[in-house]
Amino acid sequence: MSIALRPVSAENWYECTQLKVKPEQLAVFPAPVVYWIAESRFVEAFELRAVYSGDILVGFIVFCAKPDEDGNCWIQALMIDDEHQGKGYGKAAMQRLLETMSRLQCRRIMVGHRPDNQIADQLYASLGFQKISEEAIDGEIIRLLGNNI
């Protein structure tokens, strides 16, 4: 599977805003892509990537390329469009993102997901992310990958 992570740009930002999750997933992924694009204008550390399979836009990722004060780099959002879910794009996109993030000055890569998001739970576990706690912190299960990745 050929997955590419391309910067969100003047050429593809609007198409990215058309990505959506399934109606039953709105509780676990409530913020639309347009929100993340807007927030990235004010949170300097946010990096946005459009997920492509060939020339087809299938998803969207938000991550921080600069470590926080503890040396952690965070993945804020991974979303695969409802029409493209269940085809392995999420895992392939995460693998590509982890390759990218391995070149950053991160001590660990961190990600959070809603406790009832079983798909995210299984995906992150399959990639080696360990739960920090079984209890939600600020409404999310926090996971980490590596120590000096």
Helix (H, G, I), strand (E, B) or coil at 106: coil
Res 147: pLDDT? 62
Res 139: pLDDT? 84
Res 28: pLDDT? 77
Helix (H, G, I), strand (E, B) or coil at 10: coil
Instruction: Report how far residue 122's alpha carbon sits from residue 69's, in angstroms, rounded to the nearest whole number.
Output: 28
Domains of the chain: 3-145 (3.40.630.30)
Q: Which amino acid makes up residue 13?
A: W
Helix (H, G, I), strand (E, B) or coil at 4: strand
List the pLDDT tens digit at each of the 149 positions of the chain.
Answer: 689 999 999 999 999 999 999 888 888 777 899 999 999 999 989 999 999 999 999 999 999 989 999 989 999 999 999 999 999 999 999 999 999 998 888 889 999 998 888 889 999 999 999 999 877 788 889 999 986 44
State the pairing for strand pair 56-64/130-131: unpaired
Phi, psi of 75 (to 5 degrees): -105, 115
Q: Which amino acid makes up residue 65?
A: A
